[in-house]
Amino acid sequence: MKIIIDAKIPYIKDAIKQITEDVVYLPGNAFTAAAVKDADALIVRTRTTCDAALLQNSRVKFIATATIGYDHIDQQYLQKAGITWKNAPGCNAASVAQYIGSSLLLLERDKKMVLQNLTIGIVGVGHVGKEVKKMAERLGLHILCCDPPRAAQEGPDGFVSLATIAEQCDIITFHTPLSRLGKDATYHVADSAFFASTMHHPIIINTSRGEVIDTTALLTALESHQVADAIIDVWEEEPSINTQLLQRVFLGTPHIAGYSADGKANATKQALDALCDYFHLDYPFHIEPPAPAKELLVATSWKDAFLQMYNPLEDSNRLKESPDKFEFFRGNYPLRREEKAYTIQYQTAL
């Protein structure tokens, strides 16, 4: 069995050896029709578009994407071609929640915002949105949730409309998949009309997909102060991002909100589990990311400790200094562990 794997998928090389030695590692943008022609399976990330142009003359029968998102997967073609595919839902949900939590703590520290007095609107309450909701509860924010597909399926209790989010929220964070068709399409769901309808000069956060927000509309809203500030991790036309927006936002990072080592390990395991399920293989995988450089943190509070674990300002400063290195920063991201990897020793502040 021949498998072609994105070379940037972490913690996979030792585990995959238990299945086959016939493995080829390629950069995500180097998957070509010629390269995959004789492969049985692919394990990819978002930089590889899986469609007819790539697959129609191949023997590929299974594709795993080690990502939550799957807008790079041509579902209609794969179904027609008889190719099974799986994504990794929820794999990095805790990682994104960590990013959001640290970003909110920076707003509290650097913008002097009192989080307990603010309302956060969570647009998209799937695996990631649920974890973000837990983080917002921990920080004491008032929370409104908007998820039209869930509201239609489960009933309206607990959900509000996007219009209500715009009217009532001080912070609005997007956690939707990217969809371009249908009544719940999310492409440019945050457009000029949406920003014009906001009432509290909110801070906008996007860690979902860049195309969920209209870049030009957001820039206009920032310049007119209809929107107070923004935290942007995902961008239209990545990696050729809008540098004007980058320099204008409070935090601008290179699509790494979900890049904790824990989230990456989860994604890799889910991809391998799906591969084994499809090919009826029985291999127990245990994938453990490296320990952090400092497992013991000395802190005055859990908030202090939380920012010691991960401070997104460092990622933002690097990208603002060198926006042309967007892909480099993604591909060479430093080790980031989640809270469970640490022990905290509290001390009284002097």
CB contact at 8 A, 146 and 123? yes
Tokens of 49: 């578009």
The rounded distance, in Å, linking the Cα atoms of 124 and 340 is 25
The rounded distance, in Å, linking the Cα atoms of 297 and 309 is 8
The rounded distance, in Å, linking the Cα atoms of 42 and 55 is 10
Whether 255 sits among the annotated catalytic residues: the reply is yes
Q: Give φ, ψ of 305 to 5 degrees.
A: -65, -40
- Measured in whole angstroms, the distance separating CA 258 from the mean position of its chain's CA atoms is 4
- CA R_g for the chain: 21
Tokens of 302: 């859990």
User: Which member of 45, 47, 255, 330 is catalytic?
Assistant: 255
Whether 209 sits among the annotated catalytic residues: the reply is yes
Checking 148-151 for CB contacts under 8 A at 24+ apart, the result is 148/183, 148/184, 149/184, 150/125, 150/126
The rounded distance, in Å, linking the Cα atoms of 3 and 288 is 22
Residue 249 carries which side chain, given as an amino acid letter?
Answer: V
Residue indicated by tokens 């649920």: 130
User: Which member of 47, 127, 175, 209 is catalytic?
Assistant: 209
User: Which member of 238, 248, 318, 327 is catalytic?
Assistant: 238
- Per this entry, what is the length of the chain? 350
Strand 119-123 versus strand 84-86 pairing type? unpaired
Angle at 171 between CA 241 and CA 159, to 5 degrees: 110
Active site residues: 209, 238, 255
